[in-house]
């Protein structure tokens, strides 16, 4: 999950340990000050009566690792990100000190935190169908007599391949998160847990010296079959059963992952093991820097560098709910109200993008296809203009941010306007077609200078800054050099009477229509097409794509060959012709012939 998505948080749901009194009172005050809803439940209670899936929710746990594990069990199936406040004594998971709680929460709801994805285990055994975040232990049941047999034998298969027979006191199957527990004490490898999805099998007190830990993928199906009565526990006994001989246990990676919010105020994984386990390759007092500076490079960013980074993060964040909802458009449950689902997708993506931009660039204006008119520059995030949480003005100041403010604060400051289309290709989206995109542009005065187009279904990100070239995921883009129309592939946008298709289909190698203007321009930039035609355009349709195409070497004009007249407030039809350059005059000539025939 992209951390920028947290900027749209509406509601906090807190799972509270019995000794959380003071921390809970402070959390209540913090939520009240920021206009956020707060619901609390005791550890072990169901949140079903207070959780609303239609509200952007941040989960919080107030307690130690036990409370944190309850939070994962509660929030992970609901895809809710979770921040742990450490009120315990030996916490590896909840890592924010209570004294830093408000600062960490502020960082989260401004969209400046990171969200780590944690692998879970899915366990299917007689009487058990559950998930765990740490480990599964399959162990010999202690004998009643002290001289009774203390060894168990386990047959293990991974996917369709027989691994062998493990003889010893048992076997642990753990996630990277659980690698600091039993598996580490049994000489298993230590895994860095963030965004690491491996599973590992650790033999416990095996009688064969050659048996070593095994690491496999989260899609692997691990079957364990005991030859006698055996104990199975999940996450230190949170779930427990006794297996009969030859019972089959299936362990694999869970479909849902836990989303853990990490801020610069929480101590890191290696700090945790240094403090708790005496990690000897780092001094105990070697504390990492704290505060927002810890998440940024030491070199100050220019405003435009920062703007590109923020735009990419906002686009990726908006893509998440789009992908989630796109997968449901053909669900029989939603076919009758598909328009409502598409409207919800549009709204969610728009709200994420405009909130992130308003939080980071409060002096910039925003024009969005989905917003009602222009959001005036100078309005602070605390006004909720962009739909985000209310944050006190003093918490949103840009003085602390590591970038050059000169471009925004000078006496002759340029007027900056963000132009956003949160879902370009709505018709495609509504029919389950993957050709849709998120488009974000920055306009200086009246000229687009930065463009980001993200394609959720392929996870491609096209971006460009004026004068600095165009890229897709770091790879430079360039148009084709074809000069012959009969060797060229064309893309057409809206073509109301089919004249472009009729006139060019036989002349070119083919004319295609994707139904997404932003993608048309990006594919022109990448050389996937040689020219594009849009009968009519809106600024949010093309602002980002124009920057990307031009920086890749494309020629962009109107249908008369004049420079394309980009206007935030347009009057009348605005056609767009884009090409690789060498083809442009031929295309214009043919368009002229078409117009003459039509006249």
List, in sequence order, every residue forming a beta bridge with 263; answer none if it has no partner: none
Are 157 and 163 spatial neighbours (Cβ–Cβ below 8 Å)? Answer: yes
Are 328 and 341 spatial neighbours (Cβ–Cβ below 8 Å)? Answer: yes
168 carries a ligand binding annotation: no
DSSP code at position 440: E
Q: Which helix (H) or strand (E) holds 578?
A: strand 576-579
Pick from 464, 511, 510: nearest CA to 492: 511
435 carries a ligand binding annotation: no
424 carries a ligand binding annotation: yes
Pick from 320, 306, 382, 379: nearest CA to 352: 320
421 carries a ligand binding annotation: yes
How many whole angstroms separate alpha carbon 226 and alpha carbon 244? 8
HSE-CB of 482 using CA atoms within 13 angstroms: 20
CA 285 to chain centre: 34
Q: Which two tokens stand for residue 275?
A: 């403090």
Q: Which of 22, 42, 45, 65 is catalytic?
A: 65
Q: Which two tokens stand for residue 459?
A: 């996870």
65 carries a ligand binding annotation: yes
How many whole angstroms separate alpha carbon 321 and alpha carbon 436? 13
473 carries a ligand binding annotation: no
255 carries a ligand binding annotation: no
Sheet holding 114-118, edge to edge: 37-42, 11-16, 57-63, 82-86, 258-262, 114-118
Ramachandran angles phi, psi of 258, nearest 5°: -85, 140
Work out the number of other CB atoms within 10 angstroms of the CB of residue 51. 18
Q: What are the angstrom distances between the C-alpha of 391 and each of 9, 18, 192? A: 11, 29, 34
Instruction: For residue 65, indicate whether it is catalytic.
Output: yes
369 carries a ligand binding annotation: yes
515 carries a ligand binding annotation: no
**E strand segments, 46-127:** 57-63, 82-86, 114-118, 121-125
How many whole angstroms separate alpha carbon 420 and alpha carbon 315? 10
541 carries a ligand binding annotation: yes
Contacts of 5 (CB under 8 A, 6+ apart): 56, 81, 111, 115, 317, 320, 321, 352
Q: Which residue do the tokens 């285990």 mark?
A: 121
Radius of gyration of the chain (CA): 28
Are 140 and 129 spatial neighbours (Cβ–Cβ below 8 Å)? Answer: no
Q: What are the angstrom distances between the C-alpha of 476 and each of 325, 376, 479, 551, 553? A: 31, 35, 11, 10, 11
Ramachandran angles phi, psi of 209, nearest 5°: -65, -25
Contacts of 138 (CB under 8 A, 6+ apart): 152, 154, 170, 171, 172, 173, 224, 226, 230, 231, 232, 243, 249
Residues with catalytic roles: 65
Annotated binding residues for Mg(2+), as ranges?
369, 421, 423-424, 541
Annotated binding residues, as ranges?
65-66, 134-135, 150, 369, 421, 423-424, 541
Annotated binding residues for NAD(+), as ranges?
65-66, 134-135, 150
């Amino acid at each position: 999950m992209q951390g920028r998505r947290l900027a749209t948080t509406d509601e906090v749901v807190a799972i509270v340990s019995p000794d959380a009194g003071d921390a809970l009172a402070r959390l209540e005050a913090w939520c009240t000050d920021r206009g956020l809803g707060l619901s609390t439940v005791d550890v072990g209670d169901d949140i079903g009566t207070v959780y609303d899936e239609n509200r952007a929710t941040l989960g919080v746990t107030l307690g130690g690792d036990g409370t944190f594990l309850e939070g994962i069990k509660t929030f992970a199936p609901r895809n809710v990100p979770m921040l742990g406040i450490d009120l315990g004594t030996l916490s590896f998971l909840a890592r924010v000190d209570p004294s830093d709680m408000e600062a960490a929460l502020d960082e989260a709801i401004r969209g400046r935190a990171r969200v780590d994805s944690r692998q879970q285990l899915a366990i299917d055994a007689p009487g058990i169908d559950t998930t765990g975040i740490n480990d599964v232990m399959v162990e010999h049941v202690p004998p009643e007599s002290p001289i009774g047999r203390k060894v168990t034998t386990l047959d293990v298969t991974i996917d369709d391949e027989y691994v062998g027979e493990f003889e010893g006191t048992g076997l642990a199957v753990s996630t990277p998160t659980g690698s600091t527990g039993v598996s580490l004490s049994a000489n298993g490898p230590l895994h860095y847990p963030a965004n690491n999805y491996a599973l590992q099998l650790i033999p416990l007190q095996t009688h064969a010296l050659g048996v070593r830990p095994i690491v496999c993928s989260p899609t692997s199906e691990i079957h364990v079959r005991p030859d006698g009565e055996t104990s199975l526990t999940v996450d230190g006994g949170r779930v427990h059963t006794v297996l009969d001989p030859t019972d089959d246990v299936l362990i694999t990676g869970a479909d849902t992952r836990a989303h853990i919010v990490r801020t610069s105020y929480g101590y890191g994984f290696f700090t945790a093991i240094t403090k708790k386990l005496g990690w000897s390759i780092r001094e105990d007092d070697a504390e990492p820097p704290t505060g927002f500076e810890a998440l940024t490079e030491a070199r100050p960013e220019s405003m435009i560098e920062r703007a590109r980074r923020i735009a990419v993060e906002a686009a990726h964040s908006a893509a998440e709910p789009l992908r989630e909802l796109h997968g449901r458009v053909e669900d029989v449950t939603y076919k009758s109200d598909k328009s409502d689902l598409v409207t919800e997708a549009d709204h969610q993506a728009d709200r994420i993008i405009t909130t992130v931009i308003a939080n980071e660039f409060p002096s910039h204006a925003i024009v969005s296809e989905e917003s009602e008119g222009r959001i005036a520059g100078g309005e602070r995030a605390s006004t909720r203009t962009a739909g985000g949480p209310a944050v006190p003005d003093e918490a949103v100041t840009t003085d602390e941010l590591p970038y050059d403010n000169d471009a925004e604060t000078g006496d002759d400051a340029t007027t900056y306007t963000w132009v956003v289309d949160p879902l370009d290709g709505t018709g495609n989206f509504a029919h389950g077609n993957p050709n849709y995109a998120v488009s974000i542009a920055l306009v200086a005065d009246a000229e687009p200078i930065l463009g980001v187009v993200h394609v959720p279904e392929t996870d491609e990100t096209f971006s460009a800054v004026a004068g600095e070239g165009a890229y897709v995921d770091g790879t430079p883009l360039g148009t084709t050099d074809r000069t012959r129309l009969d060797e060229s592939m064309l893309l057409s946008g809206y073509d109301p009477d089919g004249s472009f298709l009729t006139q060019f289909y036989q002349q070119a190698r083919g004319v295609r229509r994707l139904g997404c203007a932003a993608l048309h321009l990006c594919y022109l930039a990448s050389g996937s097409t040689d020219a594009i035609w849009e009968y009519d355009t809106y600024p949010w349709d093309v602002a980002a794509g124009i920057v990307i195409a031009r920086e890749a070497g494309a020629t962009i004009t109107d249908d008369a060959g004049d420079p394309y007249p980009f206007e935030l407030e347009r009057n009348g039809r605005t056609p767009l012709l884009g090409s690789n350059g060498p083809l442009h005059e031929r295309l214009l000539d043919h368009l002229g012939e078409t117009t003459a025939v039509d006249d």
